[in-house]
Amino acid sequence: MKKIAILSGWTSSERDVALRSAEFFEKYINKDFDFYDFPTDLEKFLKNKDSYDLAVPVFHWQYWEDGKIFAFLEILGIKTTFSPYETHAIWLNKYVTNELVSKLWVWVPAQFLYKWKLELENFPFIVKPNRWWSSMYTYKVENKDEFDEKIKYIKANTTDDILVQEFVEAEEYSVSIVAWEVLPIMKVQKEKWEFFDYENKYSNSPKIKETWPEIEPSLESSLAFQAKKVYNFFNCRWYARVDFLVRWEDIFFLEINTIPGMTEWSIVPKSWAKTGRSFEELIETIINN
C-alpha cells in the first residue's frame, strides 16, 4: 500500500470535533500517512493525490456528512474509508431515513415534517432539525406553548426543515458495527429525559453515563439483528453506529450515524475496546476492510 491521506478540518462549527477524531487516526495508525487540513491544504492534496491508495476523510457538518467529500474523492479515483456518498446523503435526511427503515419491519416513532401551524394532541413530542444542528437544537416539548416556542427558535437559528416525532419514553441503546461485526452494545444510564448533545458525545466527562451491561440474550440478539439489517440496507461500509429506543419488548429505531465520532471517549472505540482489542487494531481493521 502507498501512503494514506488523512483529511480533516474545514470551517464548520464542528471543526474541533473533526480534528480530534483525525488525531485518533493519526495516533493509532501503523501506516505511512500525510495529514491535510481542508480547505487550506486542498490544492496541496490535489497536487499529491496520486501518491495515495486510500483517503481517510474525518469531517463533520456540511459537505462531509452529506456525502459530498466521498463523491469528490470517487471522481478523483481515490478509495476512501466510510460508506459510499449516497449512504451519507440518504442518512442525513432523518425523515427519509425513518420512512425507509419502517419498510424493513423495524419500528420507528411516528413522525411528520412541520410545514404550518397546526393543532396537536397527545404531548409530549420531540422537535429537531431534519438534517443539521440536531445536537444543538433537539427539544422535548410538553405542551402547545412550548411547541410553538421551540419551532420558532429552531426556525430562527437554522435553515432546515423541522422534524416532529412521537416521544417514546424508553431506554437507549447504541449498536456499533465495524466491518460487519457487531460490538458490545452500549446502554445509556439516565434518570430522566436526556439526549446525546454536543458535550455528551465528545467530552471526556459527559453528563450521561454510558454502560456496557449484560443484556438479556433475546434483546441483545434482536438489537444486533435489527442493527445489521439497517447497516446492510443502507450499504454501510467500514463502520457505523445504530441507535435504538427500547420500551419493554418494543424496539424503535432512533438513528444511524455513518460518521460517528472517533476519539478515545467516543462510543465506537469504547465498544471496540470492550472486546479486548487495541485501538491500533481498530484502525487497522478500518483501513484494510
**Cis preceding linkage at 260, omega within 30:** no
In the chain, which residues fall in CATH 3.40.50.20?
3-81
The owner of cell 462531509 is 64
pLDDT at 130 over 80: yes
d(CA 171, CA 204): 22
Q: What share of the chain is helix, strand, coil (3-state, %, to 5)?
A: 35, 25, 40
Q: Is the peptide bond before 39 cis (omega within 30 degrees of 0)?
A: yes
pLDDT 10s digits, 179-232: 999 999 999 876 555 555 455 555 555 556 789 999 999 999 999 999 999 999
DSSP 62: T
Average pLDDT in the 241-260 region? 93
Cα 23 off chain centre by? 18
Q: Give the CATH fold of the 3-81 domain.
A: Rossmann fold (3.40.50)
The phi and psi torsions of 192 (rounded to 5 degrees) equal: -150, 180
**Mean pLDDT rounded to a whole number for the chain:** 88
- pLDDT reported for residue 208: 65
Sequence-separated (6 or more) residues with CB below 8 Å from residue 145: none
pLDDT of residue 216: 94
Distance from C-alpha of 261 to C-alpha of 201, rounded to nearest angstrom = 8
In which residue ranges of the chain is CATH 3.30.470.20 found? 91-106+169-288
Q: For residue 57, what are the CA distances in angstroms to 25, 60, 157?
A: 10, 10, 28
CA distance to 138, 147, 151, 277, per residue, from 120 (Å): 18, 9, 13, 50
In eight-state DSSP terms, residue 83 is S
State the pLDDT confidence band at 122, using cuts at 50, 70 and 90. Answer: confident
| Dihedral sign from CA coordinates of 6, 10, 14, 20 | positive
Q: What's the CATH code, domain 91-106+169-288?
A: 3.30.470.20
pTM of this structure: 0.89
Distance (Å, whole) CA 129 – CA 160: 6
Which range has the worst mean pLDDT, 33-37, 196-200, 255-259? 196-200
CA-CA distances (angstroms) from residue 25 to 13, 41, 113, 210?
A: 21, 18, 37, 23
Q: Which fold would CATH assign to domain 111-166?
A: Dna Ligase; domain 1 (3.30.1490)
> How far, in Å, CA of 132 to CA of 159, rounded?
9
CATH 3.30.1490 placement within the chain: 111-166
User: Which helix (H) or strand (E) element contains residue 250?
Assistant: strand 250-257
Name the percent of the chain lying above pLDDT 70: 91
Rounded Cα distance, 200 and 63, in Å:
24
Indicate whether 104 pLDDT > 90: yes
What is the predicted pLDDT for the residue at 50?
94
Check residue 59 and give its pLDDT.
Answer: 82
